Amino acid sequence: MNILYFDWNEFNGADCRDAMEKLGHQIDIIRFDNSYYEMNTGNLTIFADKVIKKLEEGKYYDCVFSFDYVPALSDVCQVFEVPYISWVFDCPHYTLDSHTLSNPVNRVYVFDRILCETLRKKGYETVFHSTLAVNSQRLEKICQELDAESDGRIVYQHDVCFLGSLYDNEFNYYDRVKYLPPELKGYTDALIKAQESLFGTDLFSEPGIMPYEKIKKMREYIKFEDTGQYEIDYDNVILDFLRKKVTVNERRNILTEMGKKFDTVLYTPPGARPIENVCNLGFCDYMTKMPRVFRKSKINLNITLRSILSGIPLRVVDVLAAGGFLITNYQAEIAEYFIDGEELVIAYSPEDMIEKTAYYLEHDDERKVIARRGQEKVLRDFDYKILLEGILTI
């Protein structure tokens, strides 16, 4: 196939393009500054102009491909009748609320099955489900290099490691709202607290727990700019504000408890507030440093962003593909695709995560066997070359 690849400096683009080439596809790349990738602005047309110019050159393309969904790109493909494949790794991803999602040229893949089902119930037959992927060959090479460096012995860098954002900055939108009535604020605070103790269940989706009257009331105090470019479900945006606040609390609280008991480190973007007894080691490069951190840490944690309702976060497959041992909160699709206690370890509450961390720090042999099996599963079933076979089927 001839593929026109839209590159916006996404961290996993090189892995995907490498797999495409190994599958025998021909790739033309259009690159652009990802600072233009903003919602509710006219900047998206800059992307479209570049594609129009490329398509007008007369070269035949079997499809245009991008990670995440670019509505203006879909519209251009619709005009030229070229299939547009979008593989979405963000959740939430509000450009999916664009009316362009129904364009017949689209094949949009999301990694969260509940999100996929929700969009299809709205009539978007252009949306499909796919797990996220890894570059098995690149990661196997890194693992071999690490093992050679240690003469065949695994050298652990950390006891407990979490790599990800704490969202306790300007992206913690809930705490930026200072004007909710006390009774409404008290209700949402209590619901956030209750949600923190429950893995794998989304209380905010339950009308009996989060009635529409509460959401409607919050909408009176939280206003959004509406440019008409998207058909955003602002009620759900409100719920995502609350879900992110749960994630902020959950990650800080779990890491705080981990820091009290274990040698615990955090890799996170700049701006995070300190956590006592947890060493913040800053940003971690995806392509080079991250797999080494995952492989060398005794225990890696996955604490899923709560707006991911069922899907497997990319962090999960990244840890396992690097040969790292993983303890993760329960997610329906994690339990579906992986065997708990054999390929990774699933925790069903924050307390359970702490207890299982203590156990596996004391049981090296069990931990190593589980890490090896998890790696074998991901390298076999979640490789880009495997998943792209289906995604690139037009």
* Total residues found in the chain within this entry: 394
pLDDT of residue 38: 45
- The topology under which CATH files domain 2-130 is Rossmann fold (3.40.50)
- Decide if pLDDT at 17 tops 70: yes
For the chain, give every domain's residue range: 2-130, 136-174+239-381
Q: How far is 172 from 134, CA to CA, in rounded Å?
A: 29
Instruction: Look at residue 394 in the predicted model and tell me its pLDDT.
Output: 64
Write the pLDDT tens digit of every residue in 143-153. 888 877 755 55
pLDDT, tens digit, for every residue of 29-45?
988 765 444 433 455 56
Return d(Cα 283, Cα 267) in angstroms, integer.
6
What pairing do the DSSP bridges indicate for beta strands 63-67 and 299-302?
unpaired
What's the token pair of residue 244? 């992110």
What's the average model confidence in pLDDT over 184-193?
95
- Element of type H or E holding 162: strand 160-163
Report the top-level CATH class of 136-174+239-381: alpha beta
Residue 274 phi, psi (nearest 5): -65, 150
Give the residue carrying structure tokens 């699933």.
Answer: 346
User: How far apart are the C-alpha atoms of 136 and 133, rounded to whole Å?
Assistant: 9
Match 């050679």 to its residue by tokens. Answer: 148
- Residue 153 burial (10 A CB sphere; 0-12, 13-18, 19+): exposed
Which of 64-68, 176-180, 253-257 is the least confident region?
Answer: 176-180
**Average pLDDT across the chain, whole number:** 90
Q: Say if 2-130 and 136-174+239-381 have the same CATH topology.
A: yes
Residue 196 to residue 194: CA distance in whole angstroms: 5
Of the candidates 355, 366, 302, 357, which has an alpha carbon nearest to the alpha carbon of residue 328? 302
Model pTM above 0.85: yes
Q: Give the residue-averaged pLDDT of 363-383.
A: 97
Single-letter residue type at 387: L
